[in-house]
Structure 1
Amino acid sequence: MAGHPRPLSPHLQIYQRQLTSVTSILHRFTGIGLAVGLLYLVCWLTVAASGLDAFDRLQSFNGSIIGRPLLLGWTVAFFYHLLNGIRHLAWDAGWGFELPTAYKSGYAVLIGTAVLTIAAWVIGYYQMGAF
């Protein structure tokens, strides 16, 4: 049957997306995003130590139309990775493997990410006196 073009293993086009697989993939992507964000944080600290002019330029970038979505994305990645990491720790302890529980905890991670991100940005703006 060498002439029949079938995939050798289950393929992404065959499987329907499930919350558990999507959250797993997002966990990996947010980990990469946090690593890139850590490099940006080191850059920010270096610029902050180098002088007021350089710091002001970087802060104006942070407030720009490009900088704010990047910072928002980093915030989302942070809270998602944190909450999903806690979920993985529960799995490592043997809790929450039942499919209904896995779905509930997955939705809790997504909702918690949204709530914590919004809360962090609202508190941040309130602290800066923007409200």
Structure 2
Amino acid sequence: MPLTGHCLCNAVKYTIDMDAPLLTGYDHCDDCQRQSGSTYSLVCVVLKDKLSITGPVKKYKGLGSSGNAVYRWFCEECGSPIAHDPDAAPEIIAIKGGSLDTEIKKTLNPEHEIWTVGKLPFCKENLAHPHEHMP
């Protein structure tokens, strides 16, 4: 069963031809904190060539710690974050877990924490697989 999701206003919709993400976890990097407006971003790493997306997606280009570009995708209508797409790992894309359809979100099992070097000190929960940076 494919993974599906959309933005807040339903203008952007996507389908991922995979049964489950390759990795699900909390991303503690400063950019994800700022984009989500929270302490971390729930991300689901999937194969980019399995993603089909429609709607008014805008991309913001930033720089990752690798020095390569990271494109943050969001709906240009409502501003909902959809994904971040790192040039350093061109085969994958990190879908924002909150944008998945509700019944799919309920099945997620975050086991990884990435960019724990940016984890805020009051975040006490620790997941099974912490990574200082992206694994």
Structure 2 length as normaliser, TM-score?
0.21
Larger proportion of strand: 2
Q: If you compute each CA radius of gyration, which structure gives the higher value, 1 or 2?
A: 1
